[in-house]
Chain A
Amino acid sequence: MTSLTLSLGPPALIKLHDALTCLSKFSDTVAIEAEHSVLRLSALNSTKTAFASFVCEKDSFFESYSFQAHADGRGSYQTQSQGSERFFCQILIRALLSIFRGRVDRNKDTAVERCEMEIHEDSNQAECRLTVKMICGLGVIKSYKLTYEPAAIQHAVFDRSKTTNQWTADPRFLKQIIDHFSMSAEQLDICAEAGKATFTSFTTKITEGKEVLKYPVHTSVTCDRKDFEEFLIEENMHIAINLKDFKAVVAHAETANATVTARYTLPCKPMQLAYEFEGIRAEFTVMTRGEVDGEEVSSARAVIPQLSQRPTATAPATTPAPISLRRNETPRVAPSTEMPPPPVRARSTMDRPSASASMDFDSLFVPHDDDRQWDEMNDEDEEEPQDILGWDASGQETFEPVLRDIEPDFSKPAASRKGGDSDEMGLPPTQRMSQVRGFGLFD
């Protein structure tokens, strides 16, 4: 039996509505995860290039919040080794939004005074229902029962400690930049040059040669670094993100009146846009694209060895949450098929300490030294694999024993990569060629 009971006051209800509106720009469904101290609402877009998450703190956001989970239920929860239980499910955002829309009109007698939500999941009960009760003025109580469904919930993992580029800005300032872009622009390139930041909108869509006039307008806005509250960006490094995602973030940050901080490392690595306000932590992890040319690599090189030490800021931990899969026969993502192992690289193991198996597995996906392998496909279509983030289905950045179950899948490429240093053979050589010369066979 798992149960979640919470209640919200009108201000929190508005914030919840705003958050859901923002999430609806990423996906049709919202993933709800309950833990003992937080409630997390998240959405992952269909191309898996953007992940939006709002973490609502138990004490500061909710009027009351209680969560109990017991392992005997059949629900979508997961028991961690530390003993922190979680429950998760997903709901159509539209269904939730329609409940909250326009409910907090102070001028009406029947304005919502409190909102209570409950989930009880019991193995004896066939239904999956989220009960929402709107306690309104004049004793009106509106009850809604929404169907939720179990899901394998995935998180984009972003390690802030590895951030090499960071800027913070007022969302209204960012909004003013966005206002210059044409409506049809799809991508946003961010670059710092000589103390200035340049935001450029562009579109990668290939247009018919004849239809020149349908080409999108390129807009670039250059502003002074003083317009940012914080500005620590590597010069001349171009990094591009989806403009629609950026707009969604800025629009919400503006309503929340919270300054946005962007953190990232290199092109083709995730960027995180984050802000906090009144009991909510908003984090948006989006995939970036861009090019790393020779010069940039050399300047970026300085930070790479450190970054390679362990599962990096961008390294996805792909744990396919086994418990949730039990109920979810077609998981939304099988991460291992999404990110193809990189081609055999000679350099990749060079400056990495002999890490544990799980760390090797991590770096296999996004080894920092292997940046260039992604470069050629940069100007390709958005569905390119390099745009796809790796996902941690557990939401935990620790590695559970589960991981080892799938470890053998990756041992082969890892082995061949080590061998790739000296020759093309699939297995590591046991003898030097010079040692076997003279026996006739290798002459």
Chain B
Amino acid sequence: MRFRTQLKDTKTFSKLTASLSSLGKVCWMRLEYDVVRFTIIPDQGTQVWAQIPVDTIFEENTYEMESNSEAINIEINISNLNRALRSTFGSSQSQLRLTKKDKMPLLALTVLSTDWTEGNMALATEDQDQSSEVTGDRRARERETRITQEIPIKILHESAVDGLHEPHCPDPDVHIILPGLAQLKSISDRFNRLASTDSKSKFQQTGMVGAVESSTTGANSNSNAPTSGSGLSSSSGPKLELSANMHGKLKLAIVTDELRIASVWSALVNPPLDPAHISEQQLSQLPSERMRGVGEDDESGWAKVRIDGKDWSRVLSVGRLSPKVVACFINETALVLYVYLPGSWNGEESCLTYYINSFAA
């Protein structure tokens, strides 16, 4: 088993790992000849299956991968990898390789940085007391620094990952290209805050101590109690309602006893579905085609999902990669996001797929 490569686009790699690590720490990383797959399946919340072509993040001509099963499966703490990748910023050369130390498998990142800083230690002129002790070279010059980050990993046998498959979803009712994620996130976060102030005051009714932040009264029965108690514990947030139709409209809404807010985007694109996921003969009978037929103002033309606000916010952290995102709505069931990295919009292979379950009303 052998893996060694030079890193190409460490900024993208770092952003990718940062987005992934917001969903879960444990990541299954699968190195194949042409693609690298990252999968995070948290106990709760959204799972993500990412497929990145080797040359997106690695120097293809330095990529060496040898394994008798044609792939190397690694379990890694993705936030460790993300943290380590920060060392590569401003570096001239970074190498990632599989290695071993004391029988422990490691993913070693070696960074050679030649212009680490401006090298100008201006302190000599500023600090009179120290100037007499100066012996070092303080002029601006090139510094060479070597940084090694050794990340402990687990090697997974092929049999251990055999049972892991991407979820199967029904055909989407609506598919739509999401608006800019930065905007979507800021609005979602604002809705979350509004609703969580609301739910905080509900806690107060049950005896929690805290400052009253909202005018909630005792009449406020927990409309979303069944879902908020469903095990997401502290990570659980208010539920957002996201809906869309086949006429380029997307609606983000939040409904509590106190408030009902919605933002509507219009003139978005409903792209044709990727033939790789939907076969030709099904195309005509697709629910999305039926939905397209429904009139623009008809309520029944909308597909709706109810998602956890905090989880959604974590999903949207992928916005840092400034991707294009196709959202597939399966009414009242699930939301699947196909996140395409910039530059790979047409290429089907560079894609992160997020599977988000819809909560019951």
Contact = CB atoms under 8 A, between A and B. Distances in A.
Contact of A230 (B26, B126, B136): B136
A173 B149 CA distance: 19
Interface in A208-242: 212-224, 226-231
A277 interface: yes
Chain A binding surface, main DSSP class: mixed
B150 A222 contact: no
B126 A257 contact: yes
A260 to B, nearest CB: 10
B129 to A, nearest CB: 6
B116 A229 contact: no
Interface in A241-268: 257-259, 261
A276 interface: yes
A309 interface: no
B153 interface: yes
A259 B127 CA distance: 9
A143 interface: no
Contacts of B26: 213
Given A213-B26, A259-B123, A219 B148 contact: yes
B332 interface: no
A172 B119 CA distance: 11
A230 B130 contact: no
Given A212-B154, A217-B84, A229-B138, A224 B143 contact: yes
Given A217-B83, A217-B152, A218-B149, A227 B143 contact: yes
A257 B127 contact: yes
Given A228-B136, A229-B134, A170 B84 contact: no
A64 interface: no
Q: Which bracket fits the contact residues of B?
A: 35 or more
Given A180-B87, A258-B130, A215 B152 contact: yes
A188 to B, nearest CB: 14
Contacts of B154: 212-213
Contacts of B136: 168, 226-231
Given A227-B136, A277-B127, A213 B149 contact: no
Contacts of B92: none
B63 to A, nearest CB: 23
A46 interface: no
A173 to B, nearest CB: 7
Interface string B278-305: 0000000000000000000000000000
A182 interface: yes
A304 B318 CA distance: 59
Interface stretch (B73-81, B161-169, B226-234, B264-272): B73-81
Interface residues of A, number: 34
A413 B84 CA distance: 51
Nearest to A218: B150
Nearest to B110: A220
A223 B121 CA distance: 15
B137 interface: yes
A148 B349 CA distance: 68
Given A173-B117, A213-B26, A257-B126, A219 B150 contact: yes
A179 B76 CA distance: 21
B360 interface: no
A337 to B, nearest CB: 36
Contact of B143 (A172, A219, A223, A259): A223
A98 interface: no
Contacts of A217: 80, 83-84, 149-152
Nearest to B149: A219
A176 interface: yes
Task: Find the residue from A173, A227, A257 having the highest chain B CB count within 10 A.
Answer: A227
Interface in B35-82: 75-77, 80
Nearest to B138: A229
Nearest to B137: A226
B148 A220 contact: yes
Contacts of A224: 143-145
Contact of B123 (A182, A230, A257): A257
B121 A229 contact: yes
Given A222-B145, A222-B146, A229-B136, 4 more contacts: A182-B83, A212-B104, A224-B143, A227-B143
28 contacts: A168-B135, A173-B117, A176-B116, A180-B87, A180-B147, A180-B149, A182-B83, A183-B83, A212-B75, A212-B152, A213-B80, A214-B77, A217-B84, A217-B149, A218-B149, A223-B116, A223-B146, A226-B136, A226-B141, A227-B136, A227-B145, A228-B136, A229-B121, A229-B136, A229-B138, A258-B130, A259-B127, A259-B130
